[in-house]
Amino acid sequence: MRIIVAITGASGAIYGITLLDQLKLSGIETHLILSPWAAKTITLETRWTPEQVMALASYSYAANDLAAPVASGSFVHQGMIIAPCSMKTLASIALGYSDNLITRAADVTIKERRPLILMTRETPLNAIHLENMLKLARLGVVIMPPVPSFYQHPETIEDLVLQTTGRVLDLLGIENNLVKRWGAIGTGPLFTGSE
């Protein structure tokens, strides 16, 4: 299996990092595209360096490398995730404005009818953001803001990130044990099954 992971400069670089880490643990080939602002956000928000993040991937590319294999529809892969996806990147994809490798790879993923998951990061959302999301959702793109769930009783930020990462893996059909499944936890009247 081969997956493209892109990290943009929006807040939430830890989602892309965790995704890369989990894909590596699963033995899945990954192709990372890191934007210049993503490198800065990684430094500001995490204990990782951009170099350490790139080392998690099987292959990595600069965002301005439009000659990279992932820029072509002939590059076969099983899905692309942009985690996190900035509103600028979202807008570029929605308009078909392939001005860098991230937006070009996303454009190719759409035209080749492969899964594209955008972990959009912004709040509150304005009408422009929502219209761009709706346009892409109508094309089959999965819009997945990293909205945490709390039914699993998270105790740490890592718990929240892992639950969301597991849901992304679910969307790609990748088996994982990161997700605490509804109905398999809890003791309240809304829950069924064992703890």
CATH code at 141? Answer: 3.40.50.1950
186, pLDDT greater than 80: no
Known binding residue 87? Answer is yes
Is residue 23 in a domain?
Answer: yes
Known binding residue 71? Answer is no
Check residue 184 and give its pLDDT.
66
Known binding residue 35? Answer is yes
139, pLDDT greater than 80: yes
Check residue 189 and give its pLDDT.
45
Is residue 178 in a domain?
Answer: no
Known binding residue 63? Answer is no
Check residue 140 and give its pLDDT.
97
Is residue 182 in a domain?
Answer: no
Is residue 21 in a domain?
Answer: yes
Known binding residue 54? Answer is no
* 46 vs 40: CA distance, rounded Å: 10
Is residue 33 in a domain?
Answer: yes
Percent of residues, the chain, with pLDDT higher than 70: 94
Known binding residue 55? Answer is no
Known binding residue 149? Answer is no
Residue numbers of the domain that contains 85 = 2-171
Selection from 160, 148, 146 nearest residue 83 by Cα: 146
Is residue 184 in a domain?
Answer: no
* 142 vs 15: CA distance, rounded Å: 16
Known binding residue 74? Answer is no
Confidence of residue 192 (pLDDT cuts 50, 70, 90): very low
Domain count, the chain: 1
